[in-house]
Amino acid sequence: MVGADATIARSSHLAELLAAIDRFRQRPKTNRQPQELAAELKGIRHATDLLELEFSQTAAAFSKTEEYEEEGSVSPIDWIRHQCRMSTGAVWNSLAVGQHLDDLPRSIEAVESAEIGYAHLTLMARTAQSVQGSATAASFEEGGLLDKAREYSVGRLWYFCHHMRHATDPEEFAAEQSRATEGRTLKMSTYEDGSLALEGWFDSIGGAVVRSALEPLAQAHGDHDERGREVLPQRPHLQVTASLDTLRAVAGSPAGDMEYSLPVSAATVRRLACDGTITRVVLAPESVVIDVGRARRVVAGAARRALNAREGHCKWP
């Protein structure tokens, strides 16, 4: 079956799906028990995940055609965004999943069996896309990521994916952060009454520094709170947590965790460590803190002043 006949047949399958959805929507909705509502929520979400899988596969197939050009769009993403009424980010996610189905066979099965959600799968597909698109990355491994997807919420998996990307491709991870740093902007405008307006954009690391400085000003605690006068002249304090392997740039080590920021590269951890206070923390296998050492500055006191006098500024890297 080809041509118009094939199109009609395929449309009939879609018509059957829409009819089934319409019948489901007509079900009785009064006097439902909480347990019934909970079961329906999980079932509807799983059905939605399965449809998202179908949409992703179809979107990837469509992107290989030239139909979007014939209908006046500049790209498959542009066509899908307008015709399917989606955000650009949602289209990117769908295409990432559809284009990496062969790289995530076990994860696809996990979605089909409701072990993980489609949202987990989009993160995994975007991670595979980043790793496979880099010339410096190691090979993408589905297994470890799938194990975490089964265990983690979507938000926690999103965070873990950054660590996995760093472990797999620390060079590109650091390069991306460096490029983002170069895009920082800050504009200060003074008005006639002396008031000051700030406008800018900061990458995750720069934003963490700014937020650390301004966060104490967000809320006042009592009439005698004087932080508004004192906190801005103080140097921002940021907590960065990293393994010893990360500091030593050992291959396969995770990224560092930085307060108010996405995970940061080993290069950034070492840069911050050269002018920070280090505290040794020993963790048990279950991430339970079992020992905390004394904090000490990497370069302190007279040595710090001597370096400032000799160098004039930080010499990193």
CA distance linking residue 123 with residue 156, whole number of Å: 11
The pLDDT of residue 7: 56
Q: What is the pLDDT of residues 155-213, one digit of tens each?
A: 999 999 999 999 999 999 999 988 988 999 999 999 888 888 989 999 988 888 888 87
Higher pLDDT, residue 290 or 10: 290
Between 233 and 162, the more confident residue is: 162
| DSSP secondary structure string for all residues of 32-91 | --HHHHHHHHHHHHHHHHHHHHHHHHHHHHHHTSSHHHHTT-SSHHHHHHHHTT--HHHH
pLDDT > 50? residue 233: no
Helix (H, G, I), strand (E, B) or coil at 258: strand
Give the least confident one: 112-121, 234-243, 261-270.
Answer: 234-243
Task: Give whole-number Cα distances, 282 to 68, 241, 242, in Å.
Answer: 56, 12, 11
Reported in sequence order, the residue ranges of 111-224 that DSSP labels E, i.e. its strands, are 185-190, 196-201
- Is the pLDDT confidence value at 214 over 70? yes
pLDDT tens, residue by residue, 68-113 = 999 999 999 999 999 999 999 999 999 999 999 999 999 999 999 9
CATH code of the domain occupying 42-173: 1.10.10
What is the reported pLDDT for 158? Answer: 95
Q: Which two tokens stand for residue 112?
A: 């089909």
What pLDDT digit, counting tens, does each position of 272-306 carry?
A: 777 677 777 777 766 677 777 665 555 556 666 67
Mean pLDDT over each residue of the chain, to the nearest integer: 85
Percentage of the residues of the chain whose pLDDT score is greater than 70: 80
Q: CA 239 to CA 258: how far, in whole Å?
A: 6
pTM of the model: 0.74
Give the residue extent of every domain in the chain.
Answer: 42-173, 202-273, 274-317
